[in-house]
A and B are shown apart, each in its own frame.
Chain A
């Protein structure tokens, strides 16, 4: 979706303000939210792209005003309700009012270290890779209502395949409940002027990681 989260190239947000000696968490509740999110992800309650999409579908004014871990909290509440894991009356009561439906796994102290190990997103390929490093490609011009990882600034742009990362779970499918739908993943690099026009910094190149459905081949002879 063309949401407020898709910020690449927007103007007006001001300076980047770095905090010296920033702590991992500014408030204790932030750590609890992160730990609950990791535990529920491990439990199999939802996928990481469900978490992203739940944030993307927050009202833009909420998204911008909320601190980072408050966005996580709001997204977690949405996902709990959407999946029937927790009901609205329970959130209001602050207590469980009925037994929960079972989830595949549970994060416990014994397995925290293993449970925090980053999951693999590699999936079995469904077809040979369509592109190879060096290929010229044009990104598709799509504006889906659902979740996508193709940023607006990089749509309908010509670039070059630079790296091939194997076959991965496809976020656009995962977040809409269509399963992993494995797709090849590439790093595609663009000249800054292709994206931002002739006034762009001539020394700039920008890359995205693009799933194969985001890419179309450039026929030889095309600009």
Chain B
């Protein structure tokens, strides 16, 4: 948002305040007409600020790492498998989990807009919705991975999933070695948002955030 400053037209105010004014006007009109409830808007904002985030997806991945039966069910029908976990919000009918292996890396993109598994990862980061990611991920994913500091073996197969319909994808990253005895809660700390999009890898034990 650094380019929003407008030093040349001080009388016009900033574009930011124009945005605030127009959005406030919209809310006023829709409220006066009875279409939206400001208290419900507050609750929706709070949901996405505090309740829905990548920890949901991390717990799903950790369960899959710990429980081979769950892993199998997740890869077969992710919507049904996640629905069996009480601590994760409903994901709807169209979730697909795709599995990284030592020879295959998966990456998720939406070239046409911004489709993203909100229920498991929260709202998408700006870069996921940006022109650089959307344009390059399907053509040159290795250079995109380079922007994230990730280098794969040149023999690793790369599969890019373009989310062009209502199917939502989540990557099941490789489990870091040396974590076989960890609990699900500990394992979930290794599962970053980017590792579930495919622009990152799961953290090593030494990188675990406290």
Interface set of A (CB-CB < 8 Å, partner B):
5-11, 13-19, 22-29, 31-36, 38-40, 43, 45, 52, 55, 64, 67-68, 70, 73, 76-77, 80, 85-86, 90-91, 94-96, 99-100, 103, 106-109, 112-113, 116-122, 149-151, 153-154, 163, 165, 168, 171, 185, 187, 189, 195-196, 200-201, 203-211
Contacts and interface: CB of A to CB of B under 8 A. Distances in A.
Contacts of B36: 35-36, 39-40, 43, 106-107
A119 B92 contact: yes
Contacts of B41: 32, 35-36, 39
Interface stretch (B45-53, B55-63, B171-179, B183-191): B45-53
Nearest to A40: B35
Given A85-B33, A203-B158, 18 more contacts: A8-B111, A10-B135, A16-B130, A17-B127, A25-B48, A26-B126, A39-B40, A39-B41, A40-B35, A70-B19, A80-B26, A150-B164, A151-B111, A195-B139, A203-B154, A207-B159, A209-B164, A210-B165
Contacts of B161: 187, 207
A204 B45 contact: no
Shortest 10 CB-CB distances between A and B: which pairs? Answer: A118-B92, A100-B33, A8-B111, A209-B165, A94-B25, A96-B32, A35-B44, A31-B45, A35-B41, A13-B131
A79 B56 CA distance: 33
Contacts of B144: 16
Interface stretch (B5-13, B65-73, B117-125): B117-125
A66 B129 CA distance: 12
B203 interface: no
A16 B19 contact: no
A24 B122 contact: yes
A109 B47 CA distance: 11
A120 B93 contact: yes
Interface residues of B, number: 82
